[in-house]
Every structure is written in C-alpha cells, then in structure tokens.
Amino acid sequence: MRRCCWRSDRLRPSTSARTRSAGGNTAWGGQSWSWRAARRSSPLVPVPLPSRSATSSSSDFFCRRIHCVDETHEPSRASWVESAQGATDFPIQNLPFGVFRRKEDGDETPGTVGIAIGRQILDVAAGHDEGRFEGLADRAAGACAAPSLNRLMALGRPHWIELRRQVSALLTADSPAYRANRRLGDRILVPMTEAELLLPAVIGDYTDFYASVHHATNVGSMFRPDNPLLPNYKWVPIGYHGRASSIVPSGSAVRRPRGQVKDAPAEAPGFGPSRSLDYEMELGCFVGPGNSLGEAVPLDQAEDHLFGLCLVNDWSARDVQSWEYQPLGPFLAKSFATTVSPWVVTFEALEPFRTAALARPPGDPAPLPYLSSERNAARGGVDVTVEVYLASAQMRLQGIPPQLLSRSRAADLYWTLAQMFTHHASNGCNLRPGDLFATGTISGMGKEARGCMLELTWRGAEPIVLPTGESRKFLEDGDEVIMAGLCERGGAAPIGFGECRGVVLSA
C-alpha cells in the first residue's frame, strides 16, 4: 500500500466546519472549511507569460498582455461586498452564473438566476427589477428571470459580455454610484447560507469526451499494455453520448449502482452492487447558442457557441464497465449519476487564463484541417487546476479534514474545448442552449495528477491509505468525494469554481 501523495494537513477545518451542509449527508459545509489559502500556497506548474514590467499600468495590462481582457479583469478591482475580498473563489473578477432559491421558500418554489460574489449571490432578476441595467445587459438580465440559464445562454456572447460589464460596475467599490449601489444590497443580494443551489440549466443532451492523453494511456496500459492507445485516438476527439436525466447538482447523494459483473474465474456474470465504484475528475462545458441541424461550425467560431465551464464528477462502476463496454462502450456503468458544480464560470472570466493548446510530441499527427487553426493552437487551452479530495465517514466523524488525492491541469488535455465542439457538430449534429459536454478524466504525467481511483490505485494494486488507517482501492459507502477548480496566474486575480461534491450511499 502507498500513502496518498498529498498530506491531509493542508486542509484546516474552521470552527464551523462540523455543520451539516444544505446538500445533506455530509459533515463538511460548502465553504465551512478554510482550505482556499492552503491550496493557493501550494506549488503550481508555472505557465510562461509575456513579460510585463512591474510598473506597467492597468491599461498596459489590458492592451498588451492578454487578448480580450477588459476592465472587469483588472486585478486591483475590488467590490463593496466584503466577502469578495481575500481568499475566495468568487472575487469580482469571476462573477459565475448559477441557479438558486431561498431555503425559506421551500422545494416547490422555482429557482432564479444568480451570480456568485464572495459568499453572496446577486439576484439578477431583482437587479433588473431595480432598473440597474440598460441595452443588451437589460435584455440579458431579463432572461435571468427564469429557473434555468438556458434563455441567457441562447442570447450569445455580446449579451453575456455586456451583462458582465454592468454587473461588475454595479458591484465595484470605486464606482461613482457606489453609495447608491451598496444601499441596494439587501434587495439584490442573498447570503449563500440562505440559498439552495440547483442545476444551472435544463440539460437536453450530454456528451462525454476522452480528451486526456495521459488518462487514455494509463488506462490503456492496464488493459492493453502492448497497445495503450488505439489508432484513432490522436486523430479524432473520442466521445460518447451520456445520460442527461441522471445529472445531479453538487451535494446530492449518489447510490451505489447495481449491474452485471463477471469476475475473472467465473464462467457467467452475476448481478449485484458494484464493488469498484470510482469518480472521474472532469470539466464540463455548457453550450450557448446552438447550431442548426445539418450545419457544421468552423473551429474559429466554436467558442461563440460556448457559455462557460463547471466541474464534473463522472461517477463510474469499473467492474460493470469492464464487462459491458465491448463493443459499443459504457452503458449502466456510467448512466446512474453524474454530478456537476452549481456555478458556471464564463469564458469571459477565463480570458486571463487562456493558454496555448497542448503541443503535440514529435511523431504525432497534425489535426485534420477542420480541427486545426492558428488561433486554436495559440490560445485554445484553458489553464484550470483541478483537485480531488476524499473524506471517509470515519474521517468526518473524527473531524479529520478531507484528504487531497490528486491535482491536475486542464491545459494538459490533448484536445481543446473548441475542437470537441467543432467535431461534435461536424456531421451536422445540432447542439442546443444548455447542452453539456465534458472533457473526460483530466490526468497529468505524474502519479499525483491521476484524475480517478482506477489510475491512482492502478486498478487496485496500489491502495491508498487514509489518515484513519483505512485503505481504499475504490470508493466505499459513506465516502465523500469533493472536487475543486482554481485558475491562478501572475498578474491576474485568481478565481475558482466552488465545489462539486457527493456522498456514496449503499446500494
């Protein structure tokens, strides 16, 4: 057995940590354990950036350093919302979208669109009712008076950009209308502790890709050591159609699935609970304006159709999967549950963290022309660091912080998000506002960057030992999986994704 590659003492629970979260079935509240500062002090892989003088002005930051960055990204910009200062996933430079309802309103009340700012939620429809927006932003805010983001997603990037700009101005501390805006606080802000977070969109269709070459190589090495990567992998973004009906919001418990399993010595399969339940750390991408049936989308236009990113846990029953996946791929091993984080970080917020697409090693084929462009090569990547934590039931009972299992980077994906979308639509398949596609497991080169337990334990051969002395080959009942995402880069304000969490229930 090997000890987990990251020390559990990096996480320090706050005095309020042992409170039940709104999602239930957990002793760790969504922001009740103060691990953000610890994560940011941990070393991250540096990304080369254009040189910038320490004395350069903010206008120099906008004009020369990062493409499409505007005043909403300025690192020095501060909000009058006090909780948006310091170590938070949701500073004023982020402004992610989600759907919420007040807990006091009850389960029968439909949600409405909100924007996260610190530990508060801006009720966009309430701001619209107060007459705080104009032009394209007014129309976009009007679309937020809905129980999902679908209407806003359908409007397109000019509306999203203008709404972001005017929301940022509304929340900025040095705005000329600062005093008037702050007086609105009680009418347009809702504390996160008083809100229930819902699915951000009505997800019509869900597609899962297989975009990490490191993950594909690791898994292939276990099952096909002489031929880890199949011949098509480096030519085509591999994907499969998932199940949209079983996508659940963060905090939802996930019941251990049942399915057919065939053990190696047995002549026939049996049916029962999966004994090899796993998580997969992924990023999800929500579609904005769709494309018409029969209409392809050129690569350099793909991002005009993409709204933003969230965290995804693609729960997987490995023993069921290994028996059923040939010849058509996974079915019951994946369709029982997929968890998504509640906040969607827009591509506008991610502009300072764009990076080049992964450079292909010598000998790898160049993408076919419809999957290739100078723009995609130069800035098709998104530098998001994703992390996975595990808290067993025993750890929570003893007040032990969740254990950091892995840390990997979306910049290491073999295929970019634009390539995935363009390939998806290349046969004329129509994608619609609110559709979701995910990257597949995000893994890196080292053991500490393996994005699922299948890789971390190498198919169970190298169990993980938790701080309680418990060992894990795969997930056990009562285990809580917590995923997080962070964008961090010199000269830009760091932003985060919040959490994607779920507790395993018995079958």
Q: 147: domain CATH number?
A: 2.30.30.230
Residue 177 has a pLDDT of 74
What order of strands is seen across the sheet that includes strand 195-198?
Answer: 189-191, 120-123, 112-117, 97-102, 195-198
**Which whole number is the average pLDDT over 69-79?**
95
| 119 and 181, same domain (yes or no) | yes
pLDDT at 493 over 80: yes
Q: Which has the minimum average pLDDT: 51-65, 90-104, 197-211, 460-474?
A: 51-65
Task: With cut-offs at 50, 70 and 90, classify the pLDDT of residue 349.
Answer: very high
Q: Residue 183 — pLDDT band, cuts 50, 70, 90?
A: confident
Q: How far apart are CA 169 and CA 162, in angstroms?
A: 11
Structure confidence at residue 43 as a pLDDT band (50, 70, 90): very low
Band of the pLDDT at 74, cuts 50, 70, 90?
A: very high
CA triplet 186, 192, 197: central angle to 5 degrees?
120
Which position has the higher pLDDT, 39 or 395?
A: 395
Could you tell me if 376 and 357 are in contact, meaning their C-beta atoms sit under 8 angstroms apart?
yes
At 447, list the tokens: 């053991």
Residue finishing a domain among 153, 177, 198: 198
- The amino acid occupying position 27 is A
> Which pLDDT value is given to residue 25?
35
Residue 411 has what pLDDT? 98
CB under 8 Å to 451, separation ≥6 — which residues? 212, 215, 280, 281, 282, 386, 388, 406, 408, 441, 442, 443
Do 215 and 130 have their domain in common? no
Share of the chain above pLDDT 70, in %: 87
Residue 185's alpha-carbon distances to 51, 126, 164, 189, 206, in angstroms, are 40, 11, 18, 5, 37
Q: What per-residue confidence (pLDDT) applies to 265?
A: 85
Could you tell me if 256 and 183 lie in one domain?
no
Q: Is the pLDDT of residue 2 over 70?
A: no
User: Residue 152: inside a domain, yes or no?
Assistant: yes
Percent of the chain surpassing pLDDT 90? 80
CATH number, domain of 499, equals: 3.90.850.10
Say whether both 161 and 235 belong to one domain.
no
- Judgement on whether residues 165 and 313 belong to the same structural domain of the protein: no
Residue 328 is predicted with a pLDDT of 85
Average pLDDT over residues 40-55: 35
Cα-only R_g, the chain: 22
**pLDDT tens figures, 296-307:** 999 999 999 999
pLDDT at 418 over 60: yes
Average pLDDT for 98-113? 95
- Residue 43 inside a domain? The answer is no
- The number of folded domains in the chain is 2
Is residue 491 situated within a structural domain?
A: yes
pLDDT band at 354 (very low <50, low <70, confident <90, very high): very high
In-domain check, residue 483 = yes
398 shares its domain with 474? yes
User: For position 162, what pLDDT does the model report?
Assistant: 98
Q: Label residue 338 by pLDDT band (50, 70, 90).
A: very high
State the catalytic residue, choosing from 73, 215, 423, 424. Answer: 215
- Contacts of residue 216, Cβ cutoff 8 Å, sequence gap at least 6: 210, 228, 229, 233, 238, 414
Q: Are residues 237 and 260 in the same domain?
A: yes
156 has a pLDDT exceeding 70: yes
pLDDT for 284: 99
Q: What pLDDT shows up at residue 5?
A: 41
The reply to whether 215 belongs to the active site is yes
Q: What is the dihedral of CA 251, 498, 95, 307, to 10 degrees?
A: -70
Over residues 445-460, the mean pLDDT reads 97
For the segment 370-394, the average pLDDT, to the nearest whole number, is 98
391 and 468 fall within a common domain:
yes
Assess whether 212 and 190 both reside in one domain.
no
The reply to whether 269 and 396 lie within a common domain is yes
Domain endpoint, select from 130, 164, 198: 198
* 34 inside domain: no
User: For residue 63, what pLDDT band results from cuts at 50, 70 and 90?
Assistant: very low
264: pLDDT confidence band, cut at 50, 70 and 90? confident
Query: Do 187 and 213 belong to one domain?
Result: no
Domain assignment of residue 149, given as a range? 70-198
- Is residue 314 in some structural domain? yes
The tokens describing 453, both together, are 């337990």
pTM of the model: 0.88
Sign of the torsion angle spanned by Cα atoms 264, 266, 271, 275: negative
The backbone torsions φ and ψ at residue 350, rounded to the nearest 5 degrees and listed phi first, read: -85, -5
> Are 255 and 180 part of one and the same domain?
no
165: alpha, beta or left, given left = phi > 0 and alpha = psi -120 to 50? Answer: alpha
Which of 177, 198, 219 is at the close of a domain?
Answer: 198
What is the phi/psi pair of residue 180, to 5°? -65, -40
Quick one: average pLDDT of 402-412?
A: 98
Reported confidence tier of residue 58, pLDDT bands at 50, 70, 90:
very low
Q: For residues 126 and 362, give the distance between their C-alpha atoms in angstroms, rounded to a whole number.
A: 55
Band (40; pLDDT cuts 50, 70, 90): very low
In a domain, 60, yes or no: no
**In whole numbers, what is the pLDDT of the chain averaged over residues?**
89
The pLDDT of residue 184 is 84
Q: Is residue 32 part of a domain?
A: no
Per-residue pLDDT of 216-252, as tens digits, reads 999 999 989 988 999 999 999 999 999 999 999 999 9
Angle between helices 136-143 and 157-171 (to 10 degrees): 90
